[in-house]
Structures are given as C-alpha cells and as structure tokens.
Amino acid sequence: MTPNLLLCLLAGLLVGCGVHLLLARSVVRALLGFLLLGNGINLLFVVAAGPRGRPPIVGLGDESQPMADPLPQAMSLTAIVITLAMTGFVLALAHRSWQLSRSDVVEDDPEDARIGLRALENDMSESDFHGGPGADPRHVDPDEAPPGTVPEEDDGTHPDPDAAPPGSAPGKRAEPGVPGSDDAAAGLDADRPDHVDPDPSTPEPPARRPGQEGAL
Amino acid sequence: MSDEMLHTLLTALVPLPVLLPLVGAGIALVVRTRTGLQRAVSVTTMSLVLVIAVTLLWGADTQGRLLVTVGGWLPPQGITLVVDRLTALMVLVAVTVTFAVLLYAIGQGRGAMDRESGGNAPVPIFHPTLLVLLSGVSTTFISGDLFHLYVGFEMLLAASFVLLTLGATIDRVRAGISYVFVSLASSSVFLMALAMIYAATGTVNMAQLSVRLAELEPATALVLQVLLLTGFAVKAAVFPMSGWLPDAYPTAPAPVTAVFAGLLTKVGVYAILRTQTLLFPGSPLPDLLLWASLLTMLVGILGAVAQDDVKRLLSFTLVSHIGYMLFGVALASPAGLSASIYYVAHHITIQTTLFLVAGLIERRGGSTSMSKLGGMATMSPGLAVLFLVPALNLGGIPPFSGFLGKVGLLQAGAEQPTPLVVALLVGSVLTSLLTLYAVSRVWSRVFWRPPTVAPVTEDNRLERRYERRFALAPGVVAPTAALVLVGIALTVAAGPLLAVTDRAAAELLRPDGYVALVFGGGEVP
C-alpha cells in the first residue's frame, strides 16, 4: 500500500499543533489541543484505509472494483464518538473550575508544593527526632483541639481538609512560645495556592482563628 | 456432564464479566432514588460476577483457553474474546477488590461522601459508575482485539473521571483536570499506534497481529512496539511517565482511591504483559524495560519517604512497586513472568487494602496528615492491626505474599545475571527496605507515638460526641478486614496459586497456541 503523502503531512501538522496546545496550562487550550490531536489520528485511520475512490457500499457502481475497507471507517467513527464524550466531560470540568476559582488554569498540587518547599528549606519534621509532639508537653498546646473545631469537622460545610490551624504546619512549631516560629508557619500557609485563591463560595470559617488564639 | 457440554457452558460465561456489570449499572441508575434497592442490585451483580470469575479461572486452568467470537462475526473482522489463565486470574482479583470497595462504600453510608464534598456529591451515581468501571476493566482483560482493548480503556477511563471528580470540589477539580488530560494524551498515543498498526498490517486482531507483526521489517515493528509501550506505560505509571499519579489519587474519596490504586495501573501492566508476550515475543526490549523498572522502583520509593500525607505516601509506593511487575516482564522468562503475575495479584489486593485503611484512619483521626495524627494504636488497636498486616506485607516481610513475590522475582533475575539485572536485584532489595522504612514511619507516627490531639476533658459531652462521630462502624471495618484476610490467603494458598501463575506464564510464552485457537487451528489469513 502506498500512503497518501498529503494526508500524512496534514495528520502530522494536526498532531504537532495538538501536542503544542495540550502542553498549555489553560484547560480550554489543552482541550483544543486534544481535539486537534484526535482529528490528526482520525486522518491516520483514513490513510490506513487504502487508496481513495473505492465505493463504500457493495452494489453501487462498478462491481468489478474492490470495496473500500470498512474497518478503519468503523474505528475512526468509534474514536470520534469517544472524543465527543470526553470533550463534553472536559468542558463540564472546565466550567466547574471556572465556577470555583474564576480561572481555567491547571493549578499545582498544593501538598506537592509544600513538600517541595520543605525540601528546599532542608526542614525535617521534629517528630522524626523526638517522640512526637505529645512527648513534649509544650507541643500539646498549639494542636489541642479547641471545642469549637469539633463540630466544625462534623458539619462538613468546609470542603478543604487541609485548611488546618496555622500552628499545625509541620516542623514549624519547635518553640510555640516564640512568636517568630508561629509567624513563619502562618507565612508558609499563606504561600499555599489554596490560601492565595480561596474558594469564594465557602468562606473560611471565622471561628477558627479566635479559638486558636484562645488556646495559645 | 460431558466435556463438550462443560466447555459450552464455560464459554457462555466468558462475556458475562463485561455484560453483567453494565446491565447492573443500568438498573442501579434507574433505581438511584431508592438506596436499599440500589445497594441490593450492586451487591447482587458483584456476587454473580465473583462466582463467574472463580468458575472461569477454574475452567481456564482445567480446560485451556476459552474463545468467544462476538455476534458470530468470524475473526479477523469480528471481535474475539479470549480467556486464558492470566485473564481469568486478573478478572477474579479485580472483582474481589471492587466488591470489597463497594461494601466499604455501603458501610460508610451515603452521608459520608456528601459530608466530604460539602453536601454536593451526587452519590447515587457512585454504584453505577463503579460497575461501569469494573465492566471496562473486564473488557480490557478479556478482549482479543486491540481496538476493543482501546474501547475498554476508554470505558474505564470515563468511569474513573467521574469517580475522581465526585462532588466536584475545588481540590478534586484541580486533581481531575490533570488526570483527565494525562489519560486522554496516553489514549491518543494508543490510538495513534492502532492506526499505524492497521496501516502496516491491515488488522487489529491480536492473534493475526501475532503472525503479521513478525513478518514486518524489524524497524517498523519496533516503532509500533514503542508507541504501544508508551501509551500503556503512562497508564501503568512507569517512570518517567508516573508524575501524574501521586497528584491525582489522594484527593478522591477513600473507596475511589482504593479501587483506582488497585486496578487502574494494573490494567496498564496487564496490557504491557499481553502485548509483549503475544504481539512482540521476538523482541522483549529487555534493556529499556529493565532501566524503566529500576528507575520506577527507586524514584517512586524515594518520593514516598519524603511524604507527610499517608495517602500520598501510599501513592508513591504504588508507583514504586509497578517497577517489580515490569522487572518480571522485562526478564521474559517463565519464572520472571510467573513471579510478575503473582506480584500483580498480590499488589492489587494489598494496595487496595492499604488505601481502605487510610480511609479508616481519616474517619477515626480526622486527617491523613502524619504531622496531625498520633496515638491511634491506643485509640483504636483493631485499626492498628488492620494497618500493620498489609503494611508488613507491602514491605516484603516473610511469610507474607509480598515476600514470596519478591523472592520469585529475585530468583528469576538470578537466572540471567547480566550487570543490569544484578543492578536491578540490588535495586529491588533496596526498594523493599525503603518501603519498609516508609510504612514503619507511618506506623511510628500515626499509631505508636502519643496522641497529638489532647482529649477534650473539660467538656465530656463534647468528647462523647467526638467519639461517636468518628467511631468505626462495622460496615467499613468488615470489608477492610476481609481484604486483609484475602491478602493473608495469598500467602496461605501460595502453593496452588504459584502453580497457576507458572502455568499462566508458560501459556503466555506459547503465543502459537493462542493463534491456533482463534483461527480454529486452520491457516491464518
């Protein structure tokens, strides 16, 4: 079989543009990239179907001519249907992302960023060296659950389990009495993307901060 | 019962692991407003599929491979379904863990997922979606047609997208977007490979491909092989295509993470196993796969050691242990493949168990962050046991199945002592030790050290409320305990099971038997 050069080049162009767009951080651009990629691959199926001009259905036209291979057509139809369904899902996801954060940018994983930051600062959690916060009575205080936090865990209106009291950031409370260490912990929390860009529909519960200070 | 009748009956069972969950999903969706009825439908479906999977494994082991030509369309145009020992074993393990996860989700109650996602979770879709996921997984295992395999992948991916973003909270949407795009990209690579394979050989039937790919120019066949491997390696989270996994999994609800960790990467491993042995038996690419295996093990486990969140730590060990399965595939020897298949069965069970236990820790302690947890051993000794057994199993402590699988792999490696294989033997042992370090870190910090959160003593009423809220219901403990027992059973029944995997590996290394079955022993067109 001699493949059609023009179709091959076109498929290559579409796939190339698709890959370029797929690498973008914007969800919509990446989706367009996926669509281009899908179209490029469907063209590859057309190339694989053999030479052009053969009848698609037996019984129409010249009976002596061989029929077009129906299998690649069936396969690219299946692929088109699947791509359509996936596109619908991604559009819904992009819309939801825009609803929640007014952006369609793919965010970094906050936990990953936090671990990376700790590695940069060569910061070891103190519980690797001591018996844990419970071994030192001073450590119990900042983590002690104020009565206010218990129903808060229960009511479930707050979807972000990471939004813990600032004092509980690991490795940053060796000296709870020193204001500097607490500030550093608060600063670390403020660097996290989920704190920079809080969810507008669920405001931070106001009870936490006063309860925390009361415990200190 | 005559042999012929038995064979007909067994053949009739072949499509059911795909069909039954799909039918069940439809019914469960229709009765979504009636919780009890929906649960009954899902549990009945799972029980039936479990019985069928056991029967299929017995049948494939005693009667040989089973073949179904779908709709009577003969191969190579029609789709063929083939059940051999590997397929039957994979279906059985997949159904077992999915069943346990379903029971866990039922025990957790409808309220749990609502609470996690701020009351927005469309929970009635959980059961139907889980059943579609199982159907997709079964499709990829049973299919004897490469394009049908792709469709199975898309089925399970679509279901996994819905499950991962359940409730659509900000965290899950963020994790979901990157997971969706990575999955779509890997599927596109697979689809591209399919188009090129069809252009080069004119077929996507795996039995026919087994013959025709061998007739291609070696360079062309290599391009096709590497394209397929790339697509599957993303799904299996093989380094350097493993970065998406630890970001995507931890945000989902506990049962969802558990079933993903158990099944989705192993589907990729299965696809690699199948294509390497059936389609490209002549070029196992040992060096490429051995390097990928070594780096997957080491990078994965070093990532696990640095983590603070239990779920993320487990996700990294998941990536790391994919390296073991790839090791056996790369060796391409009967002993290597057998150990690899055993390791897949072991790892699906253990990793699902550990993620369910992480869910229990989250329920009991209110978090999965190790810096916030502590004192769980005194608070909940039963939970400590449930964690310790699979954790030691994962770390490869004798006599558990993790140890047996690793010993099998080491023995298979020692049969071909090239320098790279020796490096892998060292890497495997090192990874095993580091896994033990990572899980013992969880043990000492979450369970062993004194509690971080002091008990609320000034208000007993509040304390009692706290206890009641987070007490572990038998409905969630029982499925987890059952999976722990299945993990132990893999050790107790290791003799017969290893005999089955030995026969499965021998079967994989004789692809001509597969081809002869599909084409009825006649000439391959």
Chosen from A104, A114, A127 to mutate, greatest number of chain B CBs within 10 A:
A127
CB contact under 8 A, A109 and B247: yes
CB contact under 8 A, B184 and A34: yes
Strand partners, B67: B82
CB contact under 8 A, B170 and A140: no
- Assess if residue A28 is contained within a domain: yes
Which residue range is the domain that position A24 belongs to?
A: 5-54+69-105
Q: Residue A57 in 3-state DSSP?
A: coil
Average pLDDT for residues B148-161, to the nearest whole number? 94
Predicted pLDDT of residue B449: 81
Write the burial class of residue B376 (CB in 10 Å: 0-12 exposed, 13-18 middle, 19+ buried).
buried
Return the minimum-mean-pLDDT range out of B286-295, B355-364, B374-383.
B374-383
CB contact under 8 A, A157 and B119: yes
Residue with the bigger pLDDT between B1 and B116: it is: B1
| Residue B21, preceding peptide bond in cis (omega within 30° of 0) | no
Q: Which residues of chain B have a CB within 8 Å of the CB of A86?
A: 154, 158, 180, 184
pTM: 0.84
Predicted pLDDT of residue B300: 93
- Assess if residue A46 is contained within a domain: yes
Q: Which residues of chain A have a CB within 8 Å of the CB of B437?
A: none
Write the burial class of residue B174 (CB in 10 Å: 0-12 exposed, 13-18 middle, 19+ buried).
buried
Chosen from B77, B166, B198 to mutate, greatest number of chain A CBs within 10 A:
B198
Distance (Å, rounded) from C-alpha A10 to C-alpha A88? 26
Say whether residue A23 is in contact with chain B using an 8 A CB cutoff: no
Say whether residue A109 is in contact with chain B using an 8 A CB cutoff: yes
- Assess if residue A116 is contained within a domain: no
- Assess if residue A113 is contained within a domain: no
- In chain B, the residue whose alpha carbon lies closest to the alpha carbon of A27 is B177
Query: What does the pLDDT profile of chain A (216 residues) look like in tens digits?
Result: 677 889 999 999 999 999 999 998 888 999 999 999 999 999 999 888 877 777 777 766 666 777 788 888 899 999 999 999 999 999 999 898 888 888 878 777 778 888 888 778 876 655 555 444 444 433 333 344 444 433 333 343 444 444 444 444 443 333 333 333 333 333 333 343 444 344 444 444 443 333 333 333
Predicted pLDDT of residue A210: 37
Chosen from B157, B166, B174, B192 to mutate, greatest number of chain A CBs within 10 A:
B174
CB B127 within 8 A of CB B67: no
CB contact under 8 A, A150 and B465: yes
Between chain A and chain B, the number of residue pairs with CB atoms below 8 A apart is: 182
Exposure letters B58-96 (e unless 16+ CB within 10 A, then b):
ebbbeeebbbbebeeeebbeebbbbbbbbbbbbbbbbbb
Chosen from A47, A143, A155, A158 to mutate, greatest number of chain B CBs within 10 A:
A143
Residue with the bigger pLDDT between B284 and B104: it is: B104
- Assess if residue A181 is contained within a domain: no
Q: Which residues of chain B have a CB within 8 Å of the CB of A101?
A: 170
Residue carrying the six token digits 């109650």: B109
Q: Which residues of chain A have a CB within 8 Å of the CB of B169?
A: 100, 159-160
Distance (Å, rounded) from C-alpha A32 to C-alpha A9? 20
- Assess if residue A23 is contained within a domain: yes
The confidence band for B174, taking pLDDT boundaries of 50, 70 and 90, is confident
Which parts of B81-217 fold into alpha helices (H)? 85-108, 110-116, 126-142, 146-164, 170-201, 206-215
Query: Percentage of chain A surpassing pLDDT 90?
Result: 24
Q: Which residues, numbered 498 to 517 in chain B, qualify as contacts with chain A under a Cβ-Cβ cut-off of 8 Å? A: none
Say whether residue B178 is in contact with chain A using an 8 A CB cutoff: yes
CB contact under 8 A, A71 and B466: no
A46-52 long-range contacts (CB < 8 A, ≥24 apart) are: A46/A7, A46/A72, A46/A76, A47/A3, A47/A4, A47/A7, A47/A8, A47/A11, A47/B195, A47/B199, A48/A72, A48/B195, A48/B196, A48/B198, A48/B199, A49/A73, A50/A1, A51/A1, A51/A2, A51/A4, A52/A4
- Assess if residue A99 is contained within a domain: yes
- Chain A: nearest CA to B190, how far in angstroms? 10
Average pLDDT for residues B267-289, to the nearest whole number? 90
Predicted pLDDT of residue A205: 43
Closest in A45, A90, A147 to B456, CB measured: A147
- Assess if residue A157 is contained within a domain: no
The confidence band for B1, taking pLDDT boundaries of 50, 70 and 90, is low
Say whether residue A32 is in contact with chain B using an 8 A CB cutoff: no
Residue carrying the six token digits 């689809």: B191
Closest in B169, B175, B199 to A159, CB measured: B169
Say whether residue B246 is in contact with chain A using an 8 A CB cutoff: yes
The CA-based dihedral angle spanning residues B428, B431, B432, B433, taken in that order and rounded to the nearest 10 degrees: 130
Strand partners, A185: none
CB contact under 8 A, B195 and A48: yes
**Which residues have C-beta within 8 Å of that of residue A66, sequence separation ≥ 6?**
A54
Say whether residue B450 is in contact with chain A using an 8 A CB cutoff: yes
CB B171 within 8 A of CB B257: no
Say whether residue A45 is in contact with chain B using an 8 A CB cutoff: yes
Mean pLDDT of chain B: 88
CATH number of the domain enclosing A89:
1.10.287.3510
**B263 CA to centre of own chain:** 2
Render pLDDT for B288-324 as a digit per residue (tens, 0 to 9).
Answer: 999 999 999 999 999 998 888 899 999 999 999 999 9
Chosen from A31, A76, A89, A152 to mutate, greatest number of chain B CBs within 10 A:
A89
Say whether residue B231 is in contact with chain A using an 8 A CB cutoff: no
Predicted pLDDT of residue B297: 93
Nearest to B290 by CA among B193, B420, B392, B196: B420
What phi, psi does B145 have (nearest 5°)? Answer: -135, 130
Nearest to A82 by CA among B349, B190, B469: B190
Predicted pLDDT of residue A67: 79
Closest in A45, A90, A199 to B180, CB measured: A90
Predicted pLDDT of residue B329: 92
Distance (Å, rounded) from C-alpha B404 to C-alpha B394? 11
Render pLDDT for B30-48 as a digit per residue (tens, 0 to 9).
Answer: 887 788 888 899 999 999 9
Number of domains in chain A: 1
Distance (Å, rounded) from C-alpha A92 to C-alpha B124? 19
Q: Which residues of chain B have a CB within 8 Å of the CB of A202?
A: 118
Q: Please give the radius of gyration of chain B, using alpha carbons only, rounded to the nearest integer.
A: 23
